[in-house]
A and B are shown apart, each in its own frame.
Chain A
Amino acid sequence: SNVLTQPPSVSVAPGKTARITCGGDNIGTESVHWYQQKPGQSPVLVIHYDGDRPSGIPERFSGFKSGKTATLAISSVEAGDEADYYCQVWDSNGDHPFVFGTGTRLSVL
């Protein structure tokens, strides 16, 4: 089955740009979606279809992909961005139609 690999943790200073990667064989052929999960809360969709922002998501959040790697970028990072981030693709050929990445904890220094 498809596996999406993310770094366990990323640290960034306030005001800088955080970049979180997601690697997998299906990245090149399927749209990638990103979720933010703050402690004790439900996940929230922050990027869909590789790089589009849902309504209400700040422009500081962006996404792109190249080859088998997708990247979530958060510019001008704020303390409130500290959260777990998950990538996700729809896997038409796998046992599970939805595959999530392993998750990345973003820490703001």
Chain B
Amino acid sequence: EVQLLESGGALVQPGGSLKLSCAVSGFAFNTYAMDWIRQAPGKGLEWVSGISASGGNTYYADSVRDRFTISRDNSKNTLFLEISNLRVDDTAVYYCVRPSGDYVKFDFWGQGALVTVSS
């Protein structure tokens, strides 16, 4: 059974930093790209960032480029998202997701980690 378990969500002040983790099990982690998708309260889904299976290639939405850093530790089956210079509009539930092998859709989603940016 595929399981994606996010952690690290918190209440953070504007300008602060945070690192989300996603522990993965149930599939060969080192053979799949992985992504983060977020959802602001009451809003739709927004793709944020992705990383190749090896970690050698990373991708970011324009809205988060230069502030978000995606990484992975294939030895520990864990995905990370480091967020710096947090803004109020970064407030959202952040989902760890496993895309399909052809990297066109999302087959499995974690339960989400809530990040709240407020003073």
Contacts and interface: CB of A to CB of B under 8 A. Distances in A.
Interface of A: 30-31, 33, 35, 42-45, 48, 54, 86, 88, 90, 95-103
Interface stretch (B41-49, B67-75, B78-86): B41-49
Given A43-B45, A100-B44, A100-B47, A33 B105 contact: yes
A interface: dominant SS: strand
Contact of A86 (B44, B59, B104, B107): B44
Contacts of A31: 104-105
B104 A90 contact: yes
Contacts of A102: 44
A96 B65 CA distance: 11
Interface residues of B, number: 21
Interface string B76-119: 00000000000000000001000010011111011110000000
A46 to B, nearest CB: 11
A90 to B, nearest CB: 4
Interface of B: 35, 37, 44-47, 50, 59, 61-62, 95, 100, 103-107, 109-112
Given A42-B110, A44-B109, A97-B59, A90 B47 contact: no
Contact of A43 (B47, B62, B100, B109): B109
Contacts, number: 54
A45 B107 contact: yes
A35 B45 CA distance: 10
Nearest to A99: B47
A45 to B, nearest CB: 6
B83 to A, nearest CB: 18
Nearest to A92: B104
Contacts of B105: 31, 33, 45, 48, 88, 90
Given A90-B103, A102-B44, A95 B62 contact: yes
A49 to B, nearest CB: 8
Given A31-B104, A33-B104, A97-B50, A86 B109 contact: no
